[in-house]
Amino acid sequence: MIVVVVAVTAMVPQAAAADSEPLERTGPVVSRIAGTDRYDLAAKVALETSPAGADIVYVASGANFPDALSAGPAAVHRGAPLLLVQPGALPAQAASALTTLDPRTVIVVGGPSSVDDGVLRQIGAAVPRATVTRVYGSDRYSGSRAVIRDAYSGWVPSAFVATGRSFPDALAAGSVAGSTHTPILLVDGALPGVDIPTESFLHSLRTTSTVLVGGTSSISAEAEFALKLTHTVERIDGPDRYRVSQAINARALQDYSAAYLVTGENFPDALAGGVLAGSRNAPLFVVPRDCVPKGVLAQLDDGAASRVVLLGGTASLSSAVEALTPCSW
């Protein structure tokens, strides 16, 4: 368990000091990045991700989650931050961040129903020398494949596979996927098997290893069986979203100087936050609003994190989380 120790210097002989028990290390320094809304927070996180500017910036809707779930790891892979926009408007904070980042390329993820053409024109006005492109598909699954195809070239040996029907599983995997340069492929996990487009896509990437995120209620046992016919398959599961997050981070990250905490009850804060954490090779833990799971605290201690950064205001993560108050369970 992480403890905060106050060291008191006493006038003692050196020999006695040498014989004394070593002091336990102090707990991590906790800070917070907050914004007035999801768009402001995403803009602040994007500037933290790329403080010296960025050649590429990813943009996705902050009103829904599917587009950004695959875009986050792709952004990390390409050294880019992620900004969130409204479906029909470019928020002032995002426009200001674009101007500061001064990219050469802006990749808008999602079709016109997610981010309309007027927003692309506003982006072009904010960064006139940038090329603004759109990557999308006919639905969230083909959109996920399009994002991966656009960002990853050549052989992609491994992929995370998560349901596109809900956000917690893919959200929990986002930072690890980014830091390991592994895409997140969204699938319809309720299907009794793997559909032909998904199977063909994995074959085209020459992917031989897949990591399923979530239990059989997220991705069916039939889909797992079908993938095992052609891939090495691992499933990362847990009784809830918080312990899935812990399991994913424990699998990939054992030693880190910083860790990020974000609410697991909604998606916007973690979308851009996963890019920041992934770019720092740091874990992103999803936690409840009012406490930190004991498993997360244990991992912070094991990973020797000297900094913990909360993403979101007190409406998302309370002062109890800032104090690293353990949950009762």
45 in any annotated domain: yes
94 in any annotated domain: yes
Q: What is the pLDDT of residue 11?
A: 37
List the beta bridge partners of residue 234: 211
9 in any annotated domain: no
The range of the structural domain enclosing residue 82 comes to: 37-151
Written as six digits, the tokens of 214 are: 């979530």
Spans of the chain below 50 pLDDT: 1-20, 22-23
187 in any annotated domain: no
CATH code of the domain containing 102: 3.40.50
Phi-psi region of 102 (alpha: psi -120 to 50; beta: other; left: phi over 0): left
Q: What is the pLDDT of residue 199?
A: 98
100 in any annotated domain: yes
Q: How many domains does the chain have?
A: 1
**Residue/partner pairs of 111-116 with CB below 8 Å, 24 or more apart:** 111/136, 111/137, 111/143, 113/87, 114/60, 114/61, 114/63, 114/64, 114/67, 114/87, 115/59, 115/60, 115/61, 115/85, 115/87, 116/87, 116/88
Q: What is the pLDDT of residue 27?
A: 87
Phi-psi region of 154 (alpha: psi -120 to 50; beta: other; left: phi over 0): left
Q: SS3 for 263-299, per residue?
A: ECCCCHHHHHHHHHHHHCCCCEEEECCCCECHHHHHH
329 in any annotated domain: no
Q: What is the pLDDT of residue 254?
A: 83
Q: What is the pLDDT of residue 303?
A: 86
Q: What is the pLDDT of residue 18?
A: 44
Q: Against a cut of 0.85, is the pTM above it?
A: yes
20 in any annotated domain: no
103 in any annotated domain: yes
